[in-house]
Amino acid sequence: MWDVGIIGATGYTGTVLVSSLLTHPDVKISLITSNTYKGKKISDIFPAFRGVFEGMLEPTAEKHAGKCDVYFLCLPHGSAMETAQALYNGKAVIVDLSADFRFEDVGLYEKTYIPHRAKELLPQAVFGLPELYRNKIKDSHLIGNPGCYPTSAILGLYPLLKEQMLSGDIFIDSKSGVSGAGREAKTGSLFCEVSEGFKAYNVGVHRHEPEIQKEVSKYSDAKIFFVPHLLPMNRGILTTVYGRLKEQLSTKEVLALYKTTYFGEPFVRVLDEGLYPDTRFVRFSNYCDIGLKVLDDGRIVIISAIDNLVKGASGQAVQNMNIILGLDETKGLRQIPQYP
């Protein structure tokens, strides 16, 4: 049994991690932390855990170093880098769900976020998107778990990027449920601010744009246009990518490329021609569903759907842990989407 700690267990990603890890046969949740609720049982804060998991919340502090084999950091950026610094010893595995270890280029991180205060750890960090970086992930002890929008966009684009099959700029239109903003009280997340409406936000300045661009730039000179939207639902991301192929191919041919690229991937489902993803059919699961259509003149539309809290955060974090520990990647992640 591996001892795992969830730092920031009372946020949305933290609670999803608790639920997932409780179904994992090879791990024991030995540490859960919260500053706001320290000294309380997690089941008192989240009654869903009543009678199932009654763990006591400890303060989020440096003294937890050395207690666990794996730590999940479910904290805001900035706090995560300092916590990682306190916990990293080269032996324990650290999976950081914030942006603090997602960028190889510290300058780009600092331009997008804040000054980095744990720069010395960056060379150890790997961008934790298993479908692209599994080999690097398995040898790492520090994972920068990707953002939710970047996960949906990069998985949707990757087969075409790696084959250099796209020409021109790439348009990425993403819609997210409100849990993407976290559990912390914010006016923009209030029911009346979100329900019965649908809007674009942070146009041209969203922090996930550089994260997607840096991955695209590994294969292509294309610039991306990324526009996130807020949907009046709790969870889920639907991303629609618009691009142009260098040569005219049929939908069948491009789908064949996607199916080959993702063959054997436990969590990527490439849909058959004429079928398109729906957030309802990935909800609560670690799946990323992808569908696409080629139009005339080589225009292509690719659509992907994930649950932002699972494949977009905590599920992907467990998948990364499984890879590093040499476990079956699907352990703790076998929840099938729940519908209706």
Ligand X SMILES: NC(=O)c1ccc[n+]([C@@H]2O[C@H](COP(=O)([O-])OP(=O)(O)OC[C@H]3O[C@@H](n4cnc5c(N)ncnc54)[C@H](OP(=O)(O)O)[C@@H]3O)[C@@H](O)[C@H]2O)c1
Q: Which residues are catalytic?
A: 148
To the nearest whole angstrom, how small is the minimum distance from the Cβ of residue 62 to ligand X? Answer: 11
308 scored as a contact of ligand X (CB under 6 A): yes
Q: Which stretch binds ligand X (CB under 6 A): 71-79, 162-170, 186-194, 253-261?
A: 71-79
Nearer to ligand X among residue 33 and residue 220 (C-beta)? 33
Q: Which stretch binds ligand X (CB under 6 A): 128-136, 163-171, 221-229, 304-312?
A: 304-312
Q: What is the DSSP secondary-structure string of 144-176?
A: EPPPHHHHHHHHHHHHHHHTT-EEEEEEEEEEE
The amino acid present at 285, given as its one-letter code, is S
Nearer to ligand X among residue 185 and residue 192 (C-beta)? 185
Query: Side by side, which strands form the sheet with 125-127?
Result: 57-58, 27-33, 2-7, 70-73, 93-96, 142-144, 125-127
To the nearest whole angstrom, how small is the minimum distance from the Cβ of residue 223 to ligand X? Answer: 24
Residue ranges in 10-69 that form contacts with ligand X under rule CB under 6 A: 10-14, 34-37, 60
For the beta carbon of residue 293, count every other beta carbon within 10 angstroms: 15
The number of residues that bind ligand X (CB under 6 A) is 29
Nearer to ligand X among residue 162 and residue 229 (C-beta)? 229
Q: Which of 15, 17, 9, 55 minimizes the C-alpha distance to 35?
A: 9
- For the record, the structure tokens of 97 come out as 């769900």
Residue of 55, 76, 168, 266 that binds ligand X (CB under 6 A): 76
Nearer to ligand X among residue 181 and residue 249 (C-beta)? 181
Q: Rounded to whole angstroms, how far apart are CA atoms 327 and 337?
A: 22
Q: Which stretch binds ligand X (CB under 6 A): 7-15, 61-69, 115-123, 194-202?
A: 7-15
Nearer to ligand X among residue 34 and residue 279 (C-beta)? 34
Nearer to ligand X among residue 92 and residue 237 (C-beta)? 237
Q: Cα dist. 96→75, 76, 158, 214 in Å?
A: 8, 10, 23, 19
Q: Which of 231, 230, 97, 188 minimizes the C-alpha distance to 151?
A: 97
To the nearest whole angstrom, how small is the minimum distance from the Cβ of residue 255 to ligand X? Answer: 28
Q: Rounded to whole angstroms, how far apart are CA atoms 311 and 305?
A: 10
To the nearest whole angstrom, how small is the minimum distance from the Cβ of residue 283 to ligand X? Answer: 13
Residue of 155, 309, 310, 318 that binds ligand X (CB under 6 A): 309
180 scored as a contact of ligand X (CB under 6 A): yes
To the nearest whole angstrom, how small is the minimum distance from the Cβ of residue 233 to ligand X? Answer: 13
To the nearest whole angstrom, how small is the minimum distance from the Cβ of residue 37 to ligand X? Answer: 5
248 scored as a contact of ligand X (CB under 6 A): no
Residue of 32, 97, 154, 303 that binds ligand X (CB under 6 A): 97
Q: Which of 286, 305, 180, 299 minimizes the C-alpha distance to 240?
A: 305
Q: Cα dist. 135→70, 95, 96, 129, 194 in Å?
A: 19, 16, 18, 11, 41
Q: What is the DSSP secondary-structure string of 180-208?
A: GG-SS--GGGSHHHHTT--EE-STTT-TH
Residue ranges in 133-162 that form contacts with ligand X under rule CB under 6 A: 147-148
Q: Which of 238, 218, 244, 92 minimizes the C-alpha distance to 156?
A: 238
Q: Which stretch binds ligand X (CB under 6 A): 21-29, 70-78, 105-113, 251-259?
A: 70-78
- For the record, the structure tokens of 250 come out as 């049929």
Burial class of 205 by CB neighbour count within 10 A (0 to 12, 13 to 18, 19+): exposed
The amino acid present at 146, given as its one-letter code, is P
Nearer to ligand X among residue 181 and residue 256 (C-beta)? 181
Give residues in contact with ligand X (CB under 6 A): 8, 10-14, 34-37, 60, 74-77, 79, 97-98, 147-148, 179-180, 182-184, 308-309, 312-313
